[in-house]
């Protein structure tokens, strides 16, 4: 995470490293929430330790299996087991990851802060985004219109392909290690 690396990023669409109460807005670290989940569900916590990676889940792991993307699939028949979800420690409300879901709006103060940063930057690099949401697209557009050097690294079409002068059609997992190893990335001149 960039914030742990000493940077001060604005996480436009939130972060999965914290949870927030949808009733009162109280927020706290995700790892504390996970500890509460384990404490409330000791059988499930033990089952997590028995996960079958990529194989059909066993009885010992309640039929859970971990997919390559890190998500966990749980066989429907095991949802009959009791599972307790922690509630907000302040108001007993419903907790969710502190991210903006489809259909939700970016909080106004965060949106204003990011657009101002985009307008003031010297360079704007888009990594692994199609920019199909307006909240992301308008940032690169604002940076471009303010005269910042703009570039995109993404596989496939992005919403800003027609305004950004440099587009590298590559997977981040392949291109970023090369950049880090070399310290820069040579791009042939277009002309």
Q: Which residues are catalytic?
A: 13
SS3 176: helix
Cα separation of 65 and 76, whole Å?
12
Cα separation of 131 and 12, whole Å?
12
C-alpha dihedral sign at 96, 34, 26, 91:
positive
- Closest by CA position to 127, among listed 149, 150, 154: 154
Q: Are 95 and 20 in contact (CB under 8 A)?
A: yes
List C-alpha distances in Å: 96 to 86, 127, 140, 152, 171: 10, 26, 29, 31, 30
The CA-CA-CA angle for residues 149, 150, 153, to 5°, reads 140
């Amino acid at each position: 995470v960039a914030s742990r690396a000493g940077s001060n990023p604005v996480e436009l669409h939130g972060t999965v490293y914290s949870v927030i109460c949808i009733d009162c807005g109280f927020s706290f670290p995700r790892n504390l929430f996970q500890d509460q989940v384990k404490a409330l569900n000791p059988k499930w916590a033990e089952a997590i330790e028995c996960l079958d990676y990529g194989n059909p889940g066993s009885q010992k792991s309640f039929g859970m299996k971990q997919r390559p993307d890190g998500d966990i699939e749980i066989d429907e028949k095991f949802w009959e087991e009791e599972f307790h979800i922690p509630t907000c420690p302040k108001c007993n409300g419903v907790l969710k990851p502190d991210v903006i879901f489809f259909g939700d709006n970016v909080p106004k103060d965060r949106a204003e802060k990011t657009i101002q940063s985009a307008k003031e930057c010297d360079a704007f690099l888009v990594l692994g985004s199609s920019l199909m949401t307006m909240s992301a697209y308008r940032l690169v557009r604002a940076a471009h219109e303010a005269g910042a050097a703009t570039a995109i690294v993404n596989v496939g079409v992005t919403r800003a392909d027609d305004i950004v002068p440099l587009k590298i059609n590559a997977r981040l997992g392949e291109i970023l290690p090369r950049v880090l190893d070399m310290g820069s990335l040579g791009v042939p001149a277009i002309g």
